[in-house]
Amino acid sequence: MTVVGSGAASGGAQLLPEVLAFSSSLPLDRQLLREDVIGSMAHLIMLSRAGLVPREAAGAIRSELVRVLEAATGLPEEEDVHMAVETLLARSLGETAGMIHTARSRNDQIALDLRLHVREQSALALEELSLLLAELAERAGRERDTLLPGYTHRQRAQPVSAAYYFCAWGAMFARDLELIRTAASPEMPLGVGALAGTSLPIDREVVRKLLRFERVTANGLDTVGDRDFALDFAYAAARALLHASRVATDVIDFCTAEFGYLRLDDEIAMGSSMMPQKRNPDLFELIRGKCGRAVGNLNALLVTVKGLPGGYNRDLQEDRQALLETGPLLVSVLRMLRLGLGRVRFDPERGRKALEDGATAATDVAEALTQAGVPFRTAYKLTGALVRRCMDQGIALGRAPLDLARQIDPRFTPEVLRAADAADSVARKKNAGGTGRASVDAQIASLRASAKAAAAAGSAVPRLDRLLAELKEAAL
């Protein structure tokens, strides 16, 4: 039987190839090569400065690490990316290569790689989030006068503007900003070794500073078993995609013939292989569908960690697929939603038609009566009676004749009846959070501010390419 792998991870013993294949995380964690090399460089620089690795050896190892990263193709078959890198170093440097693993375990190494990965992905997600928020603010700004019904229970409820919809969608994503930002882990795990730390005189602060973390983790036993940062990121992603899925459903519904408020541009409308007339919203259905993957990934991570004893357990390697999928999924959905929403057109005529009978402004009529001194519950009942009377006679509430209204109650006035106008209804809701002009302006301004804040938060995150460039040059 052919035996592969260096055996370095199993005390020199050779694993059965089947067992190695079953246990290897390399097919997935090869994606963490850049993170792994960056972590190794910072660790190496610290070891050199602490006098634990001679400067010359450290220089040679660093050059080799750079080469490994640049020649990213050929990683040898090993248990994981960490062993693959060490094996490559050993091939060219021999025994000297082994110095890199001084005061280090793969347990703290993978904890670092994953944190670096989450940090990078959260920066990318914040950039996309910023663009999406800016797009929503921009669209809202241009659709202040396009009216359509707002819905509760998927029944027409009250008149709103398309701008108000864009702002509502934006409000959900503005909340995701904080969640994604905090998922970028501030703690540096390297230096705790397998679990208990090391008797060698290392300096974790040097590594922390080189890698731009805010603090070092407090306890090794906790550190090597901790995947809270992964859970936080997966939750942030799942919630943002949940939001995307809800926007997608509004768009999907609104571009049906039944609702008809939206039209998809040719650039995003997809056809059917059989029905020539179709303009399908596949893009938005896929956005909605991908939400399921994000929720599944969060669940997979939660279940992986549940009930594990303290310290590192190999079960944790099963975090890989779920976590590595999360960042790119989040980034691509935010991007696709932005591109998609930039290519849907509201049809003002359809919106106006849906509001024409005035029924959605019944609350406004009741509120106008209330302003004229009628207690709200009475006004509600009187307006309800008027709505029913109008429906029986096939008259729109907005066109209810005054004498018809006065047959119900003499407190109805021409001014009260004018409240059934949809545009007035939207304009009159002047409170914060309402549909009125000043309120919508404030909401748009707030979306713009969130877009800026997301961009700033994204650019405040230390990026891998920058770190790598710095570590190549840093004094040994």
Q: Which of 87, 96, 107, 158 binds ligand ARG (CB under 6 A)?
A: 107
Span of 170-178, 207-215, 308-316, 403-411 interacting with ligand ARG by CB under 6 A = 308-316
Cα dihedral value 244, 250, 252, 256, nearest 10: -170
Span of 84-92, 106-114, 229-237, 279-287 interacting with ligand ARG by CB under 6 A = 106-114
The nearer residue to ligand ARG, 25 or 217, going by C-beta atoms, is 25
Cα–Cα–Cα angle for 27, 466, 225, rounded to 5 degrees: 45
User: Least distance to ligand ARG from the beta carbon of 111, Å?
Assistant: 9
User: Least distance to ligand ARG from the beta carbon of 107, Å?
Assistant: 5
By C-alpha distance, which of 65, 43, 35 is closest to 204? 43
106 binds ligand ARG (CB under 6 A): yes
User: Least distance to ligand ARG from the beta carbon of 194, Å?
Assistant: 7
Task: Judge whether 75 and 88 are in contact, CB under 8 Å.
Answer: yes
Beta partners for residue 216, in sequence order = 188
- Active-site residue, from 23, 24, 272, 450: 272
Task: Judge whether 198 and 103 are in contact, CB under 8 Å.
Answer: yes
305 binds ligand ARG (CB under 6 A): no
Near ligand ARG in 76-105, by CB under 6 A: 79-80
Near ligand ARG in 373-432, by CB under 6 A: none
Catalytic: 105? no
- What is the CA 469 to chain-centroid distance, rounded? 28
User: Least distance to ligand ARG from the beta carbon of 318, Å?
Assistant: 9
Calpha distance 220→194 (Å, rounded):
8
The nearer residue to ligand ARG, 106 or 117, going by C-beta atoms, is 106
Catalytic: 272? yes
Beta partners for residue 270, in sequence order = 280
314 binds ligand ARG (CB under 6 A): yes
Near ligand ARG in 11-30, by CB under 6 A: 25, 29
Span of 95-103, 135-143, 310-318, 327-335 interacting with ligand ARG by CB under 6 A = 310-318
User: In this structure, are strands 262-264 and 344-346 parallel, antiparallel, or unpaired?
Assistant: antiparallel
- Active-site residue, from 6, 10, 24, 153: 153
User: Least distance to ligand ARG from the beta carbon of 25, Å?
Assistant: 4
Task: Judge whether 225 and 308 are in contact, CB under 8 Å.
Answer: yes
Q: Which of 15, 88, 110, 341 binds ligand ARG (CB under 6 A)?
A: 110
6 binds ligand ARG (CB under 6 A): no
The nearer residue to ligand ARG, 18 or 258, going by C-beta atoms, is 18
Specify burial of residue 21 (Cβ count, 10 A radius: 0-12, 13-18, 19+). Answer: middle
Q: Which residues bind ligand ARG (CB under 6 A)?
A: 25, 29, 79-80, 106-107, 110, 312, 314, 316-317
Point out the residues that are catalytic: 153, 272
